[in-house]
Structure 1
Amino acid sequence: ELAAVLAELTGRGVQVLLVEGGGGVHGAFWDAGLVDEACFFYAPVVIGGEGARSAVAGRGAESVSAAARLHDVELRRLGDNWMVRGLVRDVDRFWPAG
């Protein structure tokens, strides 16, 4: 369903889509293989707890070695917080140069 929505948006000229939401929304995009860039924000705050929500829900990786890896990572300090941004896969595969 998500892939069909993105195909429709592409047909209408949309080339970039920012997805904001909770773990369920993020997990649905990750599970469908539709994430090409990710941006995470970290604050020096620990919430924790057994019922703590995940930033990315869904199936998740079976192991650390099977986890998605960010590359071309940018790390930026924003006051007391940190932003980590990186590519999930080769964006040139989707938007060839030239």
Structure 2
Amino acid sequence: MMDLTLTKPGEVVKLLCERLRKERLSQQMTQNEVAGRAGIGVNTLSNLESGRNVGFETVVRVAMVLGRVKELEQLFQPRVDTLDDILRYEESVKRRRIKKKASNA
């Protein structure tokens, strides 16, 4: 596992795109096969593997084809290490928007 905490966003994108390409190759799938099964164009998949700007839905589609949805499920999971964290999370789910703090004018 690589520590990404001190990495720039562009470096994270590059790393993830390289991993995606390696995963596709390890499953012995061509870009054409993955693109076809994901319902996207080959150029779109090529752009994704090259780190060019593509939509998040494209990433999800490719992850599904490669059988890597479990990793996506872990994105943005709440951090609930303590009882206070659990209570704070449950309370925040009830709210619809965050109110701005009143400024002392």
Which one has a larger percent strand, Structure 1 or Structure 2? Answer: 1
Which protein shows a greater Rg?
Answer: 2
- Give TM-score, length-normalised by structure 1: 0.23
Which one has a larger percent helix, Structure 1 or Structure 2? Answer: 2
- Give TM-score, length-normalised by structure 2: 0.22
Q: Answer 1 or 2: higher relative contact order, Cα 8 Å, separation at least 6.
A: 1
